[in-house]
Amino acid sequence: MRQLLSLILLGVLVGLACWPLNLIDHWQDLLLRHLPAFSLDGWTPLARGLALAPLVVMPLLLLLQNGAFARGKGSGIPQTVACVEDPEQGEQLLGTTPTLLRLGLWSLASLALFPLGREGPVVQVGAAVAQALRTRWPGLFGGLKPQEVLAVAAGAGLAGGFNTPLMGVVFIAEELMSRFNATLIWPALLVCGAAAGMSQIGGQPMFALGLITNQTGEIEQYLWAIPIGLLGGLLGGLMGRLLLLVTAWVSPIAKKRPIVIGLALGGILSALALVSEGASGGDGEALMSTWIQDEGAWPGRGLSTLAVRLIGPVVALGASVPGGLIDPAFALGAVFGHGFMHLVGGSAELGLALGMAATLAGISQLPVMTISFAIRLAGDQQLGAGLLIASVVGAMAGRLLLDRPIYHALADLQRAPRR
Protein backbone atom coordinates (compact mmCIF):
# COMPACT_ATOMS: atom_id res chain seq x y z
CA MET A 1 0.00 0.00 0.00
CA ARG A 2 2.87 2.36 0.80
CA GLN A 3 4.45 1.78 -2.61
CA LEU A 4 1.08 2.19 -4.30
CA LEU A 5 0.47 5.54 -2.64
CA SER A 6 4.01 6.75 -3.33
CA LEU A 7 3.66 5.95 -7.04
CA ILE A 8 0.29 7.71 -7.26
CA LEU A 9 1.82 10.72 -5.50
CA LEU A 10 4.68 10.73 -8.02
CA GLY A 11 2.26 10.65 -10.96
CA VAL A 12 0.09 13.43 -9.54
CA LEU A 13 3.08 15.68 -8.87
CA VAL A 14 4.54 15.07 -12.35
CA GLY A 15 1.16 15.84 -13.93
CA LEU A 16 0.90 19.07 -11.92
CA ALA A 17 4.44 20.04 -12.88
CA CYS A 18 3.51 19.69 -16.57
CA TRP A 19 0.66 22.20 -16.34
CA PRO A 20 2.82 25.31 -16.96
CA LEU A 21 4.37 23.71 -20.07
CA ASN A 22 0.96 22.80 -21.44
CA LEU A 23 -0.16 26.37 -20.80
CA ILE A 24 2.82 27.78 -22.73
CA ASP A 25 2.00 25.40 -25.58
CA HIS A 26 -1.59 26.69 -25.57
CA TRP A 27 -0.37 30.29 -25.72
CA GLN A 28 1.82 29.36 -28.67
CA ASP A 29 -1.24 28.06 -30.52
CA LEU A 30 -3.06 31.33 -29.81
CA LEU A 31 -0.15 33.33 -31.25
CA LEU A 32 0.00 31.11 -34.33
CA ARG A 33 -3.60 32.01 -35.16
CA HIS A 34 -2.42 35.52 -36.02
CA LEU A 35 -0.18 34.27 -38.87
CA PRO A 36 -1.65 34.20 -42.41
CA ALA A 37 -1.30 30.42 -42.78
CA PHE A 38 -3.82 29.96 -39.97
CA SER A 39 -5.80 33.22 -39.86
CA LEU A 40 -6.26 33.66 -43.64
CA ASP A 41 -6.22 37.43 -42.98
CA GLY A 42 -2.93 38.36 -44.67
CA TRP A 43 0.06 40.00 -43.03
CA THR A 44 -0.82 42.32 -40.16
CA PRO A 45 1.75 44.28 -38.11
CA LEU A 46 1.38 41.74 -35.29
CA ALA A 47 1.88 38.81 -37.67
CA ARG A 48 5.04 40.37 -39.10
CA GLY A 49 6.35 40.99 -35.60
CA LEU A 50 5.78 37.34 -34.69
CA ALA A 51 7.50 36.15 -37.86
CA LEU A 52 10.54 38.34 -37.10
CA ALA A 53 10.70 37.38 -33.42
CA PRO A 54 13.35 34.63 -33.94
CA LEU A 55 15.71 37.25 -35.34
CA VAL A 56 15.77 38.85 -31.89
CA VAL A 57 15.18 35.85 -29.65
CA MET A 58 17.75 33.44 -31.10
CA PRO A 59 20.80 35.65 -30.31
CA LEU A 60 19.38 36.19 -26.82
CA LEU A 61 18.94 32.44 -26.31
CA LEU A 62 22.50 31.67 -27.43
CA LEU A 63 23.87 34.38 -25.13
CA LEU A 64 21.93 32.94 -22.20
CA GLN A 65 22.88 29.35 -23.05
CA ASN A 66 26.55 30.25 -23.06
CA GLY A 67 26.27 32.37 -19.92
CA ALA A 68 23.99 32.34 -16.90
CA PHE A 69 21.64 29.70 -18.38
CA ALA A 70 24.36 27.28 -19.52
CA ARG A 71 23.02 24.43 -17.35
CA GLY A 72 19.66 24.70 -19.11
CA LYS A 73 21.06 24.14 -22.59
CA GLY A 74 19.84 21.21 -24.69
CA SER A 75 16.66 19.20 -25.12
CA GLY A 76 16.33 17.58 -21.71
CA ILE A 77 15.99 14.00 -22.93
CA PRO A 78 19.74 13.33 -23.46
CA GLN A 79 20.32 14.67 -19.94
CA THR A 80 17.63 12.35 -18.59
CA VAL A 81 19.08 9.39 -20.52
CA ALA A 82 22.48 10.13 -18.96
CA CYS A 83 20.95 10.15 -15.46
CA VAL A 84 19.07 6.90 -16.04
CA GLU A 85 22.37 5.33 -17.07
CA ASP A 86 24.16 6.93 -14.08
CA PRO A 87 21.80 8.16 -11.32
CA GLU A 88 24.73 9.84 -9.56
CA GLN A 89 24.47 12.63 -12.14
CA GLY A 90 20.89 13.34 -11.07
CA GLU A 91 21.51 16.40 -8.92
CA GLN A 92 23.80 18.00 -11.49
CA LEU A 93 21.54 17.45 -14.51
CA LEU A 94 18.05 17.14 -13.00
CA GLY A 95 18.25 19.48 -10.02
CA THR A 96 15.99 22.49 -9.51
CA THR A 97 18.37 24.99 -11.11
CA PRO A 98 19.02 23.25 -14.47
CA THR A 99 15.35 22.30 -14.74
CA LEU A 100 14.07 25.86 -14.20
CA LEU A 101 16.72 27.25 -16.55
CA ARG A 102 15.72 24.81 -19.27
CA LEU A 103 12.04 25.61 -18.84
CA GLY A 104 12.79 29.32 -19.07
CA LEU A 105 14.73 28.92 -22.32
CA TRP A 106 12.08 26.64 -23.81
CA SER A 107 9.26 29.01 -22.85
CA LEU A 108 11.01 31.94 -24.51
CA ALA A 109 11.65 29.93 -27.68
CA SER A 110 8.08 28.58 -27.78
CA LEU A 111 6.48 32.01 -27.43
CA ALA A 112 8.77 33.21 -30.23
CA LEU A 113 7.14 30.42 -32.31
CA PHE A 114 10.29 28.35 -32.77
CA PRO A 115 9.47 25.06 -34.58
CA LEU A 116 10.19 22.70 -31.72
CA GLY A 117 8.16 20.43 -29.47
CA ARG A 118 8.03 20.00 -25.72
CA GLU A 119 8.82 16.37 -25.00
CA GLY A 120 12.38 17.25 -23.95
CA PRO A 121 11.29 19.65 -21.18
CA VAL A 122 8.36 17.49 -19.99
CA VAL A 123 10.58 14.41 -19.77
CA GLN A 124 13.11 16.38 -17.71
CA VAL A 125 10.36 17.82 -15.51
CA GLY A 126 9.10 14.32 -14.73
CA ALA A 127 12.58 13.04 -13.91
CA ALA A 128 13.33 16.19 -11.88
CA VAL A 129 10.25 15.61 -9.68
CA ALA A 130 11.47 12.07 -8.96
CA GLN A 131 14.98 13.34 -8.28
CA ALA A 132 13.65 15.87 -5.75
CA LEU A 133 11.51 13.24 -3.99
CA ARG A 134 14.39 10.75 -3.86
CA THR A 135 16.71 13.41 -2.41
CA ARG A 136 14.20 14.42 0.28
CA TRP A 137 12.93 10.91 1.10
CA PRO A 138 15.50 8.30 -0.08
CA GLY A 139 13.36 5.34 0.96
CA LEU A 140 10.09 6.53 -0.61
CA PHE A 141 10.31 4.22 -3.65
CA GLY A 142 11.87 1.22 -1.94
CA GLY A 143 10.58 -1.29 -4.46
CA LEU A 144 12.34 0.34 -7.43
CA LYS A 145 15.97 1.00 -8.29
CA PRO A 146 17.04 4.67 -8.61
CA GLN A 147 17.30 4.46 -12.42
CA GLU A 148 13.84 2.87 -12.60
CA VAL A 149 12.32 5.68 -10.54
CA LEU A 150 13.87 8.30 -12.83
CA ALA A 151 12.76 6.44 -15.97
CA VAL A 152 9.18 5.95 -14.75
CA ALA A 153 8.89 9.63 -13.79
CA ALA A 154 10.40 10.73 -17.12
CA GLY A 155 7.81 8.68 -19.01
CA ALA A 156 5.12 10.18 -16.79
CA GLY A 157 6.31 13.58 -17.99
CA LEU A 158 5.34 12.54 -21.53
CA ALA A 159 2.01 11.27 -20.22
CA GLY A 160 1.39 14.55 -18.43
CA GLY A 161 2.59 16.72 -21.27
CA PHE A 162 0.59 15.04 -24.02
CA ASN A 163 -2.20 13.28 -22.09
CA THR A 164 -0.90 9.99 -23.48
CA PRO A 165 -0.43 7.46 -20.63
CA LEU A 166 0.34 4.42 -22.80
CA MET A 167 2.90 6.36 -24.81
CA GLY A 168 4.67 7.29 -21.57
CA VAL A 169 4.81 3.64 -20.49
CA VAL A 170 6.17 2.48 -23.84
CA PHE A 171 8.78 5.27 -23.89
CA ILE A 172 10.05 4.06 -20.53
CA ALA A 173 10.40 0.46 -21.67
CA GLU A 174 11.44 0.99 -25.29
CA GLU A 175 13.81 3.95 -24.96
CA LEU A 176 14.92 4.55 -21.38
CA MET A 177 15.20 1.02 -19.95
CA SER A 178 15.24 -1.17 -23.11
CA ARG A 179 13.13 -3.86 -21.46
CA PHE A 180 9.51 -4.83 -20.93
CA ASN A 181 8.71 -6.67 -17.67
CA ALA A 182 6.05 -6.60 -14.99
CA THR A 183 8.24 -5.09 -12.26
CA LEU A 184 8.76 -2.04 -14.49
CA ILE A 185 5.51 -1.85 -16.49
CA TRP A 186 3.08 -2.06 -13.57
CA PRO A 187 4.52 0.93 -11.69
CA ALA A 188 4.86 2.79 -14.99
CA LEU A 189 1.17 2.26 -15.81
CA LEU A 190 0.15 3.61 -12.42
CA VAL A 191 2.40 6.68 -12.50
CA CYS A 192 1.68 7.55 -16.14
CA GLY A 193 -2.05 7.08 -15.62
CA ALA A 194 -2.03 9.47 -12.66
CA ALA A 195 0.06 12.03 -14.58
CA ALA A 196 -2.25 11.90 -17.60
CA GLY A 197 -5.27 12.35 -15.37
CA MET A 198 -3.80 15.52 -13.92
CA SER A 199 -2.94 16.64 -17.45
CA GLN A 200 -6.56 16.41 -18.55
CA ILE A 201 -7.70 18.36 -15.50
CA GLY A 202 -5.11 20.96 -16.48
CA GLY A 203 -6.68 21.44 -19.90
CA GLN A 204 -4.67 19.15 -22.22
CA PRO A 205 -7.31 17.70 -24.60
CA MET A 206 -7.67 13.95 -24.96
CA PHE A 207 -7.24 14.04 -28.75
CA ALA A 208 -4.98 17.04 -29.24
CA LEU A 209 -5.03 17.06 -33.05
CA GLY A 210 -8.67 16.29 -33.64
CA LEU A 211 -10.25 13.04 -34.80
CA ILE A 212 -9.28 11.20 -37.96
CA THR A 213 -12.31 9.15 -38.98
CA ASN A 214 -11.18 6.95 -41.83
CA GLN A 215 -12.81 3.65 -42.76
CA THR A 216 -10.09 2.29 -45.05
CA GLY A 217 -9.79 -1.49 -44.68
CA GLU A 218 -6.68 -3.17 -43.32
CA ILE A 219 -5.48 -4.60 -46.65
CA GLU A 220 -5.63 -1.22 -48.36
CA GLN A 221 -3.92 0.35 -45.35
CA TYR A 222 -1.07 -2.14 -45.73
CA LEU A 223 -0.66 -1.30 -49.42
CA TRP A 224 -0.31 2.40 -48.65
CA ALA A 225 1.67 1.94 -45.43
CA ILE A 226 4.61 0.24 -47.14
CA PRO A 227 5.60 3.03 -49.59
CA ILE A 228 4.66 5.81 -47.15
CA GLY A 229 6.52 4.00 -44.36
CA LEU A 230 9.63 3.62 -46.50
CA LEU A 231 9.73 7.20 -47.79
CA GLY A 232 8.54 8.74 -44.52
CA GLY A 233 11.11 6.73 -42.57
CA LEU A 234 13.88 7.94 -44.86
CA LEU A 235 12.60 11.50 -44.38
CA GLY A 236 12.73 11.04 -40.60
CA GLY A 237 16.22 9.59 -40.84
CA LEU A 238 17.29 12.55 -42.96
CA MET A 239 15.88 14.94 -40.37
CA GLY A 240 17.85 13.17 -37.64
CA ARG A 241 21.05 13.10 -39.67
CA LEU A 242 20.80 16.81 -40.43
CA LEU A 243 20.06 17.57 -36.78
CA LEU A 244 23.20 15.76 -35.63
CA LEU A 245 25.33 17.51 -38.27
CA VAL A 246 23.98 20.97 -37.45
CA THR A 247 24.32 20.39 -33.69
CA ALA A 248 27.94 19.27 -34.05
CA TRP A 249 28.74 22.26 -36.28
CA VAL A 250 26.82 25.03 -34.52
CA SER A 251 27.54 24.32 -30.85
CA PRO A 252 31.29 25.13 -30.79
CA ILE A 253 30.88 28.20 -33.02
CA ALA A 254 27.90 29.52 -31.04
CA LYS A 255 30.02 29.34 -27.89
CA LYS A 256 32.52 31.78 -29.40
CA ARG A 257 30.16 34.00 -31.43
CA PRO A 258 26.65 33.67 -30.01
CA ILE A 259 25.32 36.94 -31.43
CA VAL A 260 26.57 36.36 -34.98
CA ILE A 261 25.37 32.75 -35.09
CA GLY A 262 22.14 33.75 -33.35
CA LEU A 263 21.39 36.42 -35.93
CA ALA A 264 22.14 33.99 -38.75
CA LEU A 265 19.97 31.18 -37.38
CA GLY A 266 17.22 33.54 -36.26
CA GLY A 267 17.27 35.11 -39.71
CA ILE A 268 16.74 31.68 -41.28
CA LEU A 269 13.77 30.95 -39.02
CA SER A 270 12.22 34.37 -39.72
CA ALA A 271 12.75 33.95 -43.46
CA LEU A 272 11.07 30.55 -43.37
CA ALA A 273 8.11 32.06 -41.49
CA LEU A 274 7.74 34.89 -44.00
CA VAL A 275 8.03 32.61 -47.04
CA SER A 276 5.56 30.05 -45.66
CA GLU A 277 3.16 32.67 -44.24
CA GLY A 278 3.79 31.24 -40.79
CA ALA A 279 3.38 27.53 -41.58
CA SER A 280 6.95 26.90 -40.40
CA GLY A 281 6.24 28.25 -36.92
CA GLY A 282 5.32 26.41 -33.76
CA ASP A 283 5.57 22.76 -32.85
CA GLY A 284 3.39 21.63 -35.78
CA GLU A 285 0.24 20.69 -33.87
CA ALA A 286 -1.71 23.67 -35.26
CA LEU A 287 -0.63 22.72 -38.77
CA MET A 288 -1.67 19.09 -38.36
CA SER A 289 -5.00 20.08 -36.82
CA THR A 290 -5.70 22.34 -39.79
CA TRP A 291 -5.06 19.55 -42.27
CA ILE A 292 -7.08 17.00 -40.29
CA GLN A 293 -10.06 19.35 -40.22
CA ASP A 294 -9.71 20.23 -43.92
CA GLU A 295 -8.50 17.34 -46.08
CA GLY A 296 -8.04 19.63 -49.09
CA ALA A 297 -5.99 22.29 -47.28
CA TRP A 298 -3.01 23.76 -49.14
CA PRO A 299 -2.48 21.04 -51.77
CA GLY A 300 -0.46 23.46 -53.89
CA ARG A 301 1.94 24.33 -51.09
CA GLY A 302 2.91 20.81 -50.11
CA LEU A 303 6.53 20.84 -51.31
CA SER A 304 7.40 24.26 -49.89
CA THR A 305 5.71 23.41 -46.58
CA LEU A 306 7.64 20.14 -46.48
CA ALA A 307 10.91 22.04 -46.91
CA VAL A 308 10.24 24.61 -44.17
CA ARG A 309 9.02 21.93 -41.74
CA LEU A 310 12.28 20.03 -42.30
CA ILE A 311 14.69 22.98 -42.14
CA GLY A 312 13.06 24.91 -39.29
CA PRO A 313 13.27 22.28 -36.51
CA VAL A 314 16.80 21.30 -37.57
CA VAL A 315 17.92 24.94 -37.23
CA ALA A 316 16.18 25.49 -33.88
CA LEU A 317 17.11 22.20 -32.22
CA GLY A 318 20.58 22.20 -33.81
CA ALA A 319 21.34 25.35 -31.80
CA SER A 320 20.73 23.28 -28.62
CA VAL A 321 17.60 25.28 -27.81
CA PRO A 322 15.57 23.22 -25.31
CA GLY A 323 12.65 21.50 -26.97
CA GLY A 324 11.58 18.30 -28.62
CA LEU A 325 11.37 16.66 -32.00
CA ILE A 326 8.26 14.49 -31.66
CA ASP A 327 5.77 17.15 -32.78
CA PRO A 328 8.08 18.54 -35.52
CA ALA A 329 8.68 15.01 -36.86
CA PHE A 330 4.96 14.30 -36.75
CA ALA A 331 4.24 17.54 -38.62
CA LEU A 332 6.89 16.78 -41.25
CA GLY A 333 5.41 13.32 -41.80
CA ALA A 334 1.89 14.73 -41.96
CA VAL A 335 2.89 17.17 -44.70
CA PHE A 336 4.65 14.39 -46.62
CA GLY A 337 1.84 11.85 -46.32
CA HIS A 338 -0.83 14.43 -47.13
CA GLY A 339 1.03 15.58 -50.24
CA PHE A 340 1.90 12.03 -51.33
CA MET A 341 -1.75 11.00 -51.32
CA HIS A 342 -2.80 14.14 -53.19
CA LEU A 343 -0.20 13.26 -55.81
CA VAL A 344 -1.27 9.64 -56.30
CA GLY A 345 -5.00 10.18 -55.80
CA GLY A 346 -5.46 8.39 -52.47
CA SER A 347 -7.07 9.49 -49.21
CA ALA A 348 -5.14 12.52 -47.93
CA GLU A 349 -6.43 11.86 -44.42
CA LEU A 350 -5.02 8.32 -44.45
CA GLY A 351 -1.73 9.55 -45.90
CA LEU A 352 -1.45 12.19 -43.19
CA ALA A 353 -1.83 9.61 -40.41
CA LEU A 354 0.56 7.08 -41.96
CA GLY A 355 3.11 9.79 -42.77
CA MET A 356 3.10 11.06 -39.19
CA ALA A 357 3.87 7.60 -37.85
CA ALA A 358 6.50 6.75 -40.47
CA THR A 359 8.55 9.92 -40.02
CA LEU A 360 8.49 9.87 -36.23
CA ALA A 361 9.52 6.20 -36.22
CA GLY A 362 12.24 6.97 -38.74
CA ILE A 363 13.91 9.59 -36.56
CA SER A 364 13.22 8.07 -33.14
CA GLN A 365 13.51 4.36 -34.08
CA LEU A 366 10.80 3.73 -31.50
CA PRO A 367 7.98 2.08 -33.49
CA VAL A 368 5.88 0.90 -30.53
CA MET A 369 5.91 4.33 -28.90
CA THR A 370 5.04 5.86 -32.27
CA ILE A 371 2.01 3.61 -32.72
CA SER A 372 0.62 4.40 -29.27
CA PHE A 373 1.20 8.13 -29.75
CA ALA A 374 -0.31 8.25 -33.23
CA ILE A 375 -3.49 6.44 -32.21
CA ARG A 376 -3.89 8.62 -29.13
CA LEU A 377 -3.43 11.91 -30.98
CA ALA A 378 -5.54 10.98 -33.99
CA GLY A 379 -8.18 9.13 -31.98
CA ASP A 380 -9.07 6.41 -34.49
CA GLN A 381 -8.06 2.82 -33.76
CA GLN A 382 -9.37 1.76 -37.18
CA LEU A 383 -6.02 2.94 -38.55
CA GLY A 384 -4.05 0.83 -36.08
CA ALA A 385 -3.08 -1.80 -38.68
CA GLY A 386 -1.70 0.76 -41.14
CA LEU A 387 0.05 2.73 -38.39
CA LEU A 388 1.74 -0.46 -37.22
CA ILE A 389 3.19 -1.25 -40.65
CA ALA A 390 4.12 2.38 -41.37
CA SER A 391 5.92 2.65 -38.01
CA VAL A 392 7.90 -0.57 -38.36
CA VAL A 393 8.86 0.09 -41.97
CA GLY A 394 9.67 3.72 -41.08
CA ALA A 395 11.93 2.69 -38.20
CA MET A 396 13.79 0.22 -40.42
CA ALA A 397 14.18 2.81 -43.18
CA GLY A 398 15.40 5.43 -40.70
CA ARG A 399 18.25 3.12 -39.68
CA LEU A 400 19.68 3.45 -43.18
CA LEU A 401 20.55 7.07 -42.32
CA LEU A 402 20.80 6.93 -38.51
CA ASP A 403 22.94 4.20 -37.02
CA ARG A 404 21.77 5.11 -33.48
CA PRO A 405 18.41 6.26 -32.09
CA ILE A 406 18.37 10.04 -32.14
CA TYR A 407 18.14 10.62 -28.38
CA HIS A 408 21.13 8.38 -27.69
CA ALA A 409 23.07 9.97 -30.55
CA LEU A 410 22.38 13.43 -29.12
CA ALA A 411 23.44 12.21 -25.67
CA ASP A 412 26.71 10.93 -27.17
CA LEU A 413 27.23 14.28 -28.85
CA GLN A 414 26.64 16.06 -25.55
CA ARG A 415 29.25 13.91 -23.81
CA ALA A 416 31.82 14.30 -26.61
CA PRO A 417 34.75 16.56 -25.67
CA ARG A 418 34.76 19.99 -27.34
CA ARG A 419 37.86 21.32 -29.00
What mean pLDDT is reported for the chain? 86
| pLDDT value of position 350 | 87
Distance, in Å, from the CA atom of 362 to the CA atom of 353, rounded to the nearest integer, reads 14
Tens of pLDDT, residue by residue over 40-73, are 788 999 999 999 999 999 999 999 998 888 888 8
The alpha helices in 137-257, defined as continuous H runs, are 146-162, 165-171, 182-201, 218-256
| pLDDT value of position 298 | 53
Query: Tell me, which fold does domain 218-415 have in CATH?
Result: Clc chloride channel (1.10.3080)
Burial of 94 (0-12, 13-18, 19+ CB in 10 A): buried
List the one residue out of 160, 163, 183, 184 whose CA is nearest residue 172: 184
List the one residue out of 121, 152, 129, 153 whose CA is nearest residue 22: 121
Q: Which amino acid is at 213?
A: T
Distance, in Å, from the CA atom of 408 to the CA atom of 34, rounded to the nearest integer, reads 37
Please tell me what DSSP assigns to residue 117.
B
Consecutive H or E run containing 99? helix 96-111
Please tell me what DSSP assigns to residue 74.
S
Could you tell me the pTM of the whole model?
0.89
Strand partners, 324: 117
CA 292 to chain centre: 19
With left for phi above 0 and alpha for psi between -120 and 50, is residue 114 left, alpha or beta? beta
| pLDDT value of position 54 | 95
Mean pLDDT of the 365-386 span: 78
Q: Which amino acid is at 141?
A: F
> Residue 307: pLDDT above 70?
yes
Q: Which amino acid is at 254?
A: A
Mean pLDDT of the 270-282 span: 92
Distance, in Å, from the CA atom of 298 to the CA atom of 305, rounded to the nearest integer, reads 9
Q: Which of 85-94, 114-123, 126-135, 392-401 has the lowest mean pLDDT?
A: 85-94
Q: How confident is the model at residue 274 (pLDDT cuts 50, 70, 90)?
A: very high
* Phi, then psi, of 51 in degrees rounded to 5: -65, -35
Q: Higher confidence at residue 297 or residue 187?
A: 187
Tens of pLDDT, residue by residue over 164-209, are 888 889 889 888 887 777 788 888 999 999 998 888 776 666 666 6
> Residue 417: pLDDT above 50?
no
Distance, in Å, from the CA atom of 243 to the CA atom of 120, rounded to the nearest integer, reads 15
Q: Which residues of the chain form CATH 1.10.3080.10? A: 2-201, 218-415
List the one residue out of 143, 180, 78, 82 whose CA is nearest residue 405: 78
Mean pLDDT of the 201-224 span: 74
> Residue 269: pLDDT above 50?
yes
Distance, in Å, from the CA atom of 315 to the CA atom of 300, rounded to the nearest integer, reads 25
| pLDDT value of position 137 | 85
Tens of pLDDT, residue by residue over 86-120, are 888 888 888 889 999 999 999 999 999 999 988 88
> Residue 419: pLDDT above 50?
no
Report CA-CA distances (Å) from 173 to 116, 181, 186, 224.
24, 8, 11, 29
Distance, in Å, from the CA atom of 261 to the CA atom of 251, rounded to the nearest integer, reads 10
Distance, in Å, from the CA atom of 95 to the CA atom of 283, rounded to the nearest integer, reads 26
Distance, in Å, from the CA atom of 373 to the CA atom of 23, rounded to the nearest integer, reads 20
CA 187 to chain centre: 24
Instruction: Say if domain 2-201 classifies as CATH 3.90.1300.10.
Output: no
| pLDDT value of position 194 | 92
Report CA-CA distances (Å) from 27 to 32, 105, 282.
9, 16, 11
Tens of pLDDT, residue by residue over 17-39, are 999 998 998 899 899 999 998 88
Distance, in Å, from the CA atom of 151 to the CA atom of 59, rounded to the nearest integer, reads 34
List the one residue out of 373, 307, 362 whose CA is nearest residue 335: 307
Please tell me what DSSP assigns to residue 163.
T
* Phi, then psi, of 321 in degrees rounded to 5: -70, 130
